[in-house]
Structure formats: C-alpha cells, structure tokens
Structure 1
Amino acid sequence: MLVVWNILIVLLTVAGMELFATFAHKYIMHGWGWGWHRSHHRPRSGWFERNDLYAVVFAVVAIALIALGTAGMWPLQWIGAGMTAYGAIYFIVHDGLVHKRWPFRYIPRRGYLKRLYKAHRLHHAVKSREDCVSFGFLYSPPVEKLEATLKRRQSATPGAAKGPGDAAPVTPRES
C-alpha cells in the first residue's frame, strides 16, 4: 500500500509543479526575476542562457528533498522525485520540442503537443515581460483564446507589447 501512496505523491507533485511553475513564470520570471528570464526571450548564443539558473535552483531543491527523504523524512524523497520527473518532462517538451535545444527538429501537426507548441510560440511573440500570454509549460488554454487575447492587447495599446528596443511581435509559424 505504501507503494501506491508514493506513486500518488509523485503524480500529485508533478501536477502541483505545473501550478507552481505557471505562477512562478508569470509573477517571478516575468516580475522581479526578469533579470534571469530575459535571456529566454532573446536569441540564444551558445548552449546555455541565464534563464537556465532557474532549473539549477529547482534541481537543488529536489536533490535536497530526496536526500532528506532517504534520511528518513518520508515523503520528501517522493516529492523530490516528482519535482525531478516534472523537470525531465519540462526539459524534453519545453527545451526540446519548443525551443529546439535538442538535436531533433519535430514540429507537431495536431493534438496536445501542437497546442503546447503554438501556445508557447505565442508566449514568445512578445519580447518584453509585459502582455505575454500562456505561462504554463504542460498546460495551455486553447490557442484561439490566446491569439484573441494577444491581438486585443496589441490593438488596445499600440506598441505596448514591445519593450524598449524590442522587435515587433510576430505570429508563430507552423512550419
């Protein structure tokens, strides 16, 4: 029965991490943590960007939880395992599929992955920290809703979707 609880804790942690990551992305990364996250909204030169420091911070927390859990503080190791699983999914989907930081070049044509891909491309259509849409990594609202929100924001305040020195927002390509 303990195995079932441990699996449930891992799965709930993965779901909880999506909620936390959405909040952190919107209010921390696009707020006071923009100094690190800005690099993610600029063309990358090289393998790493300053934004990768967020992954390091979350990895350290997960490692600490696993260490505490294996030292007897159940269920911390399973929470750390859930954080690690979320990080792996994030790394594959976000860094690999969306941002092409993996050697494969796959662009989904339908279904869930296409929705995630397009939603994140819409998030990056705005180069500043304001007026972005879709802050989740594994969940996104319907793309049509995101496009309407982005269009409404851009037409309501011409130039508001751009930061100083930023290029005009672009519509994501499906190619």
Structure 2
Amino acid sequence: MVTILLYSIVTLATFLLMEAITWLTHKYIMHGFLWYLHKDHHQPKYPHVFEKNDAFFIIFATPSILLFYFGAVPSLNFLFFIGLGIFFYGVTYFLIHDVLIHQRFKWFKKTKNKYLIGLRKAHKVHHKHLGKEKGECFGLLYVPKKHHKK
C-alpha cells in the first residue's frame, strides 16, 4: 500500500514538474536554438498536415520511453513512474494544445469552461508574435489570471 502511494506521488509530482520544464524548454530551446523546428508553428496557415514543430513530440517522448524501459527492467521501480508522469503530461499537452487550442482534430470545438477559454486566450497571446522574440505565455496549464477575465 505504501509503495502504491509513493509511486502515485512520484507520478503526480513529475506531471506537475513538467509544466515548469515545458515553460523553460519552450522559452529557451524552442524559441532559442531549435527555433528552426518551432518556427512553422508560429506561421499563419501552414499548408501541411504536419509541421516541423511536430518533431518535438518525438524529442519529448524519448525520455518517457527510456524511463519506462529502465523502470521496468529488471523489475518495476520509480523510474517507470517518472516516465508515466511525463507520459500523462504528454497526453494532456496533446489534448489541450493540438486538439482544444489549435483544433488540429475537431473533437472539442466549443467549451464554456472559463479555465479552458483562458488557456485558449493565453495561447493566442503567445502566437501573436510571429518571431522567436517577445514571446509570452510559454507554459501549457498555468495561465495568468488576466486571461481568465471576460
């Protein structure tokens, strides 16, 4: 029972820590030296189904996959649950960023939830800058209160 609780805490803590890691990675790597991969995501009406920016899914999935492997071999350990926290954040990122915000899949077209509307507004503010400089709102789940107002 203690082990299940501990592994659950590790998974949740990893999930929460991923917001800070996402913010830092987005600001300093995606809007930094890997801008050439992220740039097309900031361009209006990119004509392809996939963007160069989609390479980040592979880049960010790699640590999770490795942690799953090393956390399961030779027996289940805490590394697996760190990988699980990263995986859950990745699924959340996909659902919020690609489905809800950018509507790459037409699953959640309309919402009246103030928090989700705030996420959309904050991301819209982030995308008003077409270049890598002067960006704001680099996270995914944390949204400044000013974006929750009507």
Aligned partner of 1:153 in structure 2 is none
Deviation, structure 1 residue 61 = 1.4
Distance across 2 between alignment mates of 1:52 and 1:76: 26
Greater than 6 Å deviation, 4+ residue runs = none
Deviation, structure 1 residue 25 = 0.4
8 Å CA contact 1:118–1:143 kept in 2: the answer is no
Q: 1:56 aligns with which of 55, 58, 81?
A: 58
8 Å CA contact 2:121–2:147 kept in 1: the answer is no
Distance across 2 between alignment mates of 1:144 and 1:79: 31
Alignment of 1:79 onto 2:91: no
Question: One-letter code of the match for 1:62?
Answer: S
What is the SS of the residue equivalent to 1:129?
coil
8 Å CA contact 1:65–1:79 kept in 2: the answer is yes
Q: 2:71 aligns with which of 64, 69, 76?
A: 69
* 1-10 vs 136-145, greater mean Cα deviation: 136-145
Q: For 1:15-65, what per-residue CA distance to the aligned partner results, in whole angstroms no more than 9, with x for missing partners?
A: 111100000001111111101110110132222111111110111211110
TM-score normalised by structure 2 residue count: 0.90
Aligned partner of 2:103 in structure 1 is 100
Aligned partner of 1:160 in structure 2 is none
Aligned partner of 1:4 in structure 2 is 5
Q: Give matches, 1:1-150, under 5 Å.
A: 1-42=2-43, 43-71=45-73, 72=75, 74-104=77-107, 106-143=109-146
Aligned residue pairs total 146
8 Å CA contact 2:67–2:83 kept in 1: the answer is yes
Identity of aligned residues (%): 35
8 Å CA contact 2:119–2:147 kept in 1: the answer is no
8 Å CA contact 1:10–1:81 kept in 2: the answer is yes
Higher CA-based Rg: 1
| Structure 1 unpaired stretches of 5+ | 146-173
